Structure 1
Amino acid sequence: MGSSASTPAAAANPSNASDHQPPSQCPMHEGKKKGCPVSAVASDPSSESKEHSVPAHQDRAYEYVECPVTGAKNKENLDPSNLMPPPNQTPSPDQPFALSTSREESSIPRADSEKKWVYPSEQMFWNAMLRKGWKWKDDDISQKDMYNIIRIHNQNNEQAWKEILKWEALHAHECPCGPSLVRFGGKAKEYSPRARIRSWMGYELPFDRHDWIINRCGTEVRYVIDYYDGGEVNKDYQFTVLDVRPAFDSFSAVWDRMKVAWWRWTS
């Protein structure tokens, strides 16, 4: 598979992503500041309501606090922020064991809100997999497995956000309060050009892909995240190697990618 550096940090092994964080004085470590121009770009009320309304699965999330899976057939019922239908905390009819409905708060700021994104519960994740067509009877799965799956899911998202913050550190001067997450979606079978080029070179294709849209103080920026199998799950529930980078949607993103490539080449 090979290593895939995904951030401005000149790391040879991206699986050590959590070891490379912005310095303590970096604005990425700070919470939202009062008066910070997160929503500086003006927009009409109808557009704002459509793009930044509280996602259905986040609306009452904190009632359960102690990913996104797509596949619902009725597109009209999907939450546009993450392509998820409304949350379902009810056990399925033939479910073999009880699952927790508790949800964990992430460290990821939610756009146009003082709150943060909240991860799905074990029950929500189970129901989401069923909607995708998963047949639990075909797998030897237990309560402990579901517990571990949720921990891995949450850790992957935390790791992805840390990688995004490293890229966003390049723009700390223009957005001192740091970015927030607007929406995201899975594109497992829509391989990115970078992933395809790597596969032509003999490396394996990623097992998943997400596109995350962040708000950089009024500017929306898309990040592409490719997920590669990193081997055994460690004690921190990390096994995924992430390749995170801004999409080539703007000159700014192209310039960031060029700068980082040069730094890696000359380091």
Structure 2
Amino acid sequence: MGQSTSSQAAAPIPTATTAPAQCPVDHKALAAKSKKSAADCPVSHEPPSGLAKCPIDHDTINPLNQMPNLSQNPALNQTSNLPIERTTSSIPRDAGSKWDYPSPQQFYNALVRKGWETPEEHIETMVDIHNFLNEEAWNEVLRWEKRVYQHDDVSLAHFKGRPGEFSPKARFWMLAGWLLPTRFNNEPPFDRHDWVVNRPQTGEQVRYVIDYYSAPPEADGSPVFSLDVRPALDNFSSLKERISVATEEAWATYRAQNPPPLRTVTTPRD
């Protein structure tokens, strides 16, 4: 503001709720600039706690603008100046405004407050990845919304980061990976968000759960992420849509693996 796979453990059947998202960073250019391997991503996916998560504390919200209270002042012992400009997202906050992403300086301050050691020169890259993943998550939310809400005025009312709180679905796949390690990956998501979406025409608010996973990297070492976005099972309508999408995707996978036999048609002779 990922179901992760590996070479030994395949992820669950992909569905519309799972969207792989490649890292927006040009790692070849980064490697040429830093004289390091392209596989050396500046983003550390293993913070001190052992569980990667968004560094922004989404629980500390300013009620005036519904954004985290993040300082724009340089941190103690900071050696370089970081941009304080904030990027406007594509995510509507209401009918007349959109959400703003934290500036690189605010992002760095959040890292420092949490005790994460991150080189200052990599902060802008990390902000790019943070913003990119949120844009991808919103696109997935819109895909769900278009199935049931025939208007283009949905907006993100509020959100909450819940790192370390595994959703029931994440726990299920982790258990499946523990029971059948050769078939499923038991790596947990590195972050979780809950987003509440407004449907102005009906007055409804729908909660979405987003699990963020790390996926196998590209051949050049560029990181890949996977987002599992779906409506929370808070009501019958969301349950119905979850079942409907799962059924559609399972059927599409079956048809792709078992195409109908070709029919031989004989042209009649006179």
**Shorter-chain TM-score range:** 0.5 to 0.7
Following superposition, the deviation at residue 200 of structure 1 comes to: 0.9
Q: What amino acid sits opposite 1:247 in the alignment?
A: A
Q: Which residue of 2 aligns with 1:266?
A: 251
Q: What amino acid sits opposite 1:131 in the alignment?
A: R
Following superposition, the deviation at residue 3 of structure 1 comes to: 5.2
Relative to structure 1, the CA distance from residue 106 to residue 83 in structure 2 (aligned partners, 3 Å threshold; closer, same or farther) is: closer
Q: Which residue of 2 aligns with 1:28?
A: none
- The number of aligned residues is 201
CA displacement, residues 47-88 of structure 1 (integer Å, 9 cap, x when unaligned): xxxxxxxxxxxxxxxxxxxx77228xxx8x643699864231
Q: Is the contact made by 1:100 and 1:122 (CA closer than 8 Å) also made in structure 2?
A: yes
Percent of counterpart pairs with the same letter?
A: 40
Q: Which residue of 2 aligns with 1:24?
A: none
**Greater relative contact order, per chain length (Cα 8 Å cut-off, separation 6+):** 2
Q: Which residue of 2 aligns with 1:106?
A: 89
Distance, in Å, in 2 between the alignment partners of 1:106 and 1:189 is 26
Q: What amino acid sits opposite 1:184 in the alignment?
A: F
Coordinate RMSD, CA, aligned: 2.8
Q: Secondary structure at the match of 2:238?
A: helix
Q: Which of 236, 246, 254 is matched with 2:231 structurally?
A: 246
Q: Secondary structure at the match of 2:227?
A: strand
Q: Secondary structure at the match of 1:128?
A: helix
Q: Which of 191, 197, 200 is matched with 2:172 structurally?
A: 197
Distance, in Å, in 2 between the alignment partners of 1:86 and 1:131 is 12
Q: Unaligned 5+ residue runs, structure 1?
A: 18-66
Structure number with the higher helix fraction is 1
Q: Which residue of 2 aligns with 1:7?
A: 16
Q: Is the contact made by 2:161 and 2:194 (CA closer than 8 Å) also made in structure 1?
A: yes
Distance, in Å, in 2 between the alignment partners of 1:82 and 1:185 is 15
Q: What amino acid sits opposite 1:196 in the alignment?
A: R
Q: What amino acid sits opposite 1:70 in the alignment?
A: D
The answer to whether the aligner puts 1:127 opposite 2:114 as a matched pair is no
Q: Is the contact made by 1:213 and 1:223 (CA closer than 8 Å) also made in structure 2?
A: yes
Q: What amino acid sits opposite 2:88 in the alignment?
A: E
Distance, in Å, in 1 between the alignment partners of 2:196 and 2:106 is 23
What TM-score results when the alignment is normalised by the length of structure 2?
A: 0.67
Following superposition, the deviation at residue 199 of structure 1 comes to: 0.5
After TM superposition, the structure 1 = structure 2 runs for residues 30-179 of structure 1, keeping only pairs within 5 Å, are: 69-70=56-57, 78-79=61-62, 85-111=68-94, 113-134=95-116, 136=117, 139=118, 141-143=119-121, 145-173=122-150, 176-179=151-154
Q: Is the contact made by 1:206 and 1:228 (CA closer than 8 Å) also made in structure 2?
A: yes
CA displacement, residues 176-229 of structure 1 (integer Å, 9 cap, x when unaligned): 133100111111100001001101111211011000011012211100000000
Distance, in Å, in 2 between the alignment partners of 1:133 and 1:238 is 24
Q: Is the contact made by 2:16 and 2:249 (CA closer than 8 Å) also made in structure 1?
A: no
CA displacement, residues 152-171 of structure 1 (integer Å, 9 cap, x when unaligned): 00000000000000000112
Following superposition, the deviation at residue 232 of structure 1 comes to: 3.5
Q: Which residue of 2 aligns with 1:220?
A: 205
